[in-house]
């Protein structure tokens, strides 16, 4: 009795602390990997469709019965993998140019090896795996461990920081992939399982329900990001990132990505990228090496009561159009400032997150039907979506424009790098104004370092710019081997 009394007292004390903390400080959203980050490599020789089963909710158990999770777990455990990464933190190079402008780093030692852990889902029988970008970004080595403990070295096919998704490839066998559900049909209150490797506890299964849809938790720090998470109360923890959220038919509903917590461990809220969006991004990365992102060319915002009153809107749901860009898809389709977007095709739109998710499912050249409210009139507009260059062309990696730097950047080709006698670098294809133009860089320049850190891909530069947006320098080579440094400002 004494032990029971003490245990009860301690439990009450712990809950009180948690409750007080929750009432006095905001929850923090955490990504669910144990540590780390690689390098997108474009293209594969063969592209096959990712299997899809749109069975919807017809086979879900009736809510008056206690569900049996064993069948769904048995069908999906072998398709969820444990991802282990290793990366050497890049040392800061000592350069006279850097020392002059930024000072000399003191006491620098050789960087240690950093390890990380997460989860992934096999989506094709030839070894393609989807996971979170933050699980594998900047990793030098990626290991995939299957449920039966077989281990493989994985290649990074491509990554998309804007959706926090990445695709890996393992070879040597055929695997049983997980089928995708139609995540549009997921409903609040529906049973789901979370499968992954929390705290390196391999092949862990937890259960919960879908508790909300279309959540924007502002965790992805990227321009043109897409956040429209499925929120669940299935327990997930660090190491679950990239793992599967599945329905009772054993089909993929989402990719587990983040939790809301005051401590960094599960506190009742977890968030998954919808399966439909994950499937589209994965197909793009496999086929093109980058995501075919479609744009309307509008400035938008959510509707609240203040906006509805000031603009005399008749409803609080929808997406308000603040502005329409010249030459954009929206302008060509007849969208006007002040319009309220309430539907895309047959889907109701209640928030900017929902609109961004719908657009994220399309490629440039696709036509969508917008339902809008203009004053008191309901209208339908046909919009042909464009890429960020303002055309309907599907862009390869070479066409990627880095909007932060203002130019076309691509990972240096092996031929170009060998010609300069270097092992890594990012080539400036075009300068379209912005930072590159301001600094004086010319097309053909190969960037090998930024602020003393080695650069292998454009995303490396984006990350460093986020860390030091107001003061940085870039070093590299022109075609004849001439090394140059440029500084900003």
CATH classification of the domain holding 54 = 2.40.10.120
pLDDT band at 89 (very low <50, low <70, confident <90, very high): low
- CA-closest candidate to residue 133, choices 157, 107, 167, 100: 167
Q: Are 287 and 421 found together in one domain?
A: no
pTM of the model: 0.72
Distance CA 257, CA 227 (A): 11
Distance CA 255, CA 232 (A): 12
Q: Which residue has the tokens 């991004």?
A: 281
Q: Give mean pLDDT, residues 102-111.
A: 47
Q: Supply the pLDDT for residue 26.
A: 44
Q: Any residues with CB less than 8 A from the CB of 375 and at least 6 apart, and which? A: none
For the segment 364-396, what is each residue's pLDDT rounded down to a tens digit? 999 999 999 999 999 999 999 998 778 888 876
Distance CA 352, CA 227 (A): 9
Q: Supply the pLDDT for residue 139.
A: 86
Distance CA 477, CA 326 (A): 37
Query: Domain range spanning residue 474?
Result: 397-488
Q: Are 210 and 96 found together in one domain?
A: yes
Distance CA 300, CA 200 (A): 42
Helical spans, DSSP H, in 261-351: 275-288, 305-310, 329-333
Q: Judge whether residue 82 has pLDDT over 60.
A: yes
Distance CA 288, CA 43 (A): 6
Q: Are 90 and 132 found together in one domain?
A: yes
Asked if residue 21 belongs to a domain, the reply is: no
Q: Supply the pLDDT for residue 121.
A: 98
Long-range contacts of 344-348 (CB under 8 A, 24+ apart): 344/368, 344/369, 344/370, 344/371, 345/369, 347/184, 348/317
Q: Are 45 and 134 found together in one domain?
A: yes
453 exposure class (CB count in 10 Å sphere: 0-12, 13-18, 19+): middle
Q: Judge whether residue 25 has pLDDT over 50.
A: no
Asked if residue 336 belongs to a domain, the reply is: yes
Q: Supply the pLDDT for residue 61.
A: 56
pLDDT band at 408 (very low <50, low <70, confident <90, very high): confident
Asked if residue 308 belongs to a domain, the reply is: yes
Domain boundary among 292, 313, 333: 292
* DSSP β-bridge partners for residue 454: 449
Q: Are 369 and 418 found together in one domain?
A: no
Annotated catalytic residues are 134, 164, 241
For the segment 127-171, what is each residue's pLDDT rounded down to a tens digit? 999 999 999 987 889 999 999 999 999 999 989 989 999 999 999
* DSSP β-bridge partners for residue 402: 407
- Please work out, in degrees rounded to the nearest 5, the angle formed at the alpha carbon of residue 467 by the alpha carbons of 464 and 469: 90
pLDDT band at 471 (very low <50, low <70, confident <90, very high): confident
Q: Are 170 and 277 found together in one domain?
A: yes
What percent of the chain is predicted at pLDDT more than 90?
Answer: 55
What percent of the chain is predicted at pLDDT more than 70?
Answer: 80
Candidate from 245-249, 308-312, 318-322, 385-389 with smallest mean pLDDT: 385-389
Looking only at the bridges linking them, the beta strands covering 28-31 and 252-261 are antiparallel
Distance CA 358, CA 25 (A): 34
Q: What DSSP state is assigned to residue 80?
A: E
Asked if residue 17 belongs to a domain, the reply is: no
pLDDT band at 27 (very low <50, low <70, confident <90, very high): very low
Q: Are 259 and 280 found together in one domain?
A: yes
- CA-closest candidate to residue 267, choices 219, 217, 233, 229: 233
Q: Supply the pLDDT for residue 24.
A: 35
**What spatial distance separates the first Cα and last Cα of the chain, rounded to whole Å?**
71
Q: Are 408 and 368 found together in one domain?
A: no
Domain boundary among 384, 408, 432: 384
Candidate from 335-349, 397-411, 416-430, 464-478 with smallest mean pLDDT: 397-411
Mean pLDDT of the chain: 82
Q: Are 285 and 365 found together in one domain?
A: no
Q: Judge whether residue 4 has pLDDT over 70.
A: no
Which comes out higher in pLDDT, residue 307 or 16? 307
Q: Are 336 and 451 found together in one domain?
A: no
Q: Supply the pLDDT for residue 21.
A: 18
pLDDT band at 224 (very low <50, low <70, confident <90, very high): confident
Q: Give mean pLDDT, residues 280-295.
A: 93
- Pair 213, 185: CB distance under 8 Å: no
Q: Supply the pLDDT for residue 47.
A: 38
Q: Supply the pLDDT for residue 194.
A: 97
Q: Are 78 and 34 found together in one domain?
A: yes
Q: Any residues with CB less than 8 A from the CB of 334 and at least 6 apart, and which? A: 381
For the segment 265-283, what is each residue's pLDDT rounded down to a tens digit? 888 899 999 999 999 999 9
pLDDT band at 9 (very low <50, low <70, confident <90, very high): very low
Query: Based on the structure, what is the number of domains in the chain?
Result: 3
Q: Are 375 and 477 found together in one domain?
A: no
């Amino acid at each position: 009795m004494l032990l029971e009394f003490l245990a009860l007292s301690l439990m009450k004390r712990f809950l009180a602390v948690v409750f007080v903390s929750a009432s006095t400080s905001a929850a923090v959203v955490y990504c669910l990997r144990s540590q780390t980050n690689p390098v997108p490599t474009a293209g594969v020789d063969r592209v096959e469709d990712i299997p899809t089963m749109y069975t919807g909710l017809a086979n879900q158990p009736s809510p008056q019965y206690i569900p049996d999770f064993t069948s769904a777990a048995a069908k999906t455990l072998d398709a969820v993998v444990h991802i282990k990464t290793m990366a050497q933190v890049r040392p800061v190079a000592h350069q006279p140019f850097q020392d002059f402008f930024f000072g000399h780093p003191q006491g620098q030692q050789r960087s240690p090896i950093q390890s990380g852990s997460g989860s992934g889902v096999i989506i094709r029988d030839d070894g393609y795996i989807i996971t979170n970008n933050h699980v594998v970004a900047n990793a030098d080595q990626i290991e995939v461990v299957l449920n039966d403990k077989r281990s493989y070295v994985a290649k990074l096919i491509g990554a998309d920081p804007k959706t926090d998704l990445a695709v890996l490839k393992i070879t040597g066998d055929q695997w049983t992939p997980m089928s995708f559900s139609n995540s549009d049909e997921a409903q609040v209150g529906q049973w789901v399982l979370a499968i992954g490797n929390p705290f390196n506890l391999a092949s862990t299964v937890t259960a919960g329900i879908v508790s909300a849809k279309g959540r924007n938790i502002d965790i992805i720090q990227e321009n043109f990001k897409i956040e429209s998470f499925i929120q669940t109360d299935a327990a997930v923890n660090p190491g679950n990132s990239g793992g599967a959220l599945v329905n009772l038919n054993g089909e993929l509903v989402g990719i587990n990505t983040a939790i809301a917590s005051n401590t960094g461990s599960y506190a009742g809220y977890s968030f998954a990228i919808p399966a439909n969006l994950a499937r589209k991004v994965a197909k793009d990365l496999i086929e093109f090496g980058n995501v075919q992102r479609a744009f309307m060319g509008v400035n938008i915002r959510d509707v609240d009561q203040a906006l509805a009153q000031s603009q005399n809107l008749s409803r609080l749901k929808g997406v308000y159009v603040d502005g329409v860009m010249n030459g954009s898809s929206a302008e060509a389709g007849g969208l006007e400032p002040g319009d309220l977007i309430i539907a895309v095709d047959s889907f109701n739109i209640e928030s900017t997150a929902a609109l961004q998710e719908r657009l994220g499912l399309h490629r440039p050249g696709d036509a969508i039907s917008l339902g809008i409210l203009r004053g008191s009139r309901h209208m339908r507009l046909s919009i042909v979506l464009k890429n960020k260059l303002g055309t309907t062309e599907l862009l390869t990696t070479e066409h990627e424009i880095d909007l932060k730097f203002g130019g076309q950047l691509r990972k240096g080709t092996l031929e170009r790098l060998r010609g300069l006698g270097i092992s890594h670098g990012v080539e400036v294809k075009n300068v379209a104004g912005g930072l590159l133009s301001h600094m004086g860089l010319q097309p053909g320049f190969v960037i090998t370092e930024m602020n003393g850190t080695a650069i292998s891909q454009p995303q490396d530069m984006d990350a460093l710019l986020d860390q030091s947006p107001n003061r940085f320098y870039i070093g590299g080579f022109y075609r004849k081997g001439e090394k140059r440094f440029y500084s900003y400002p």
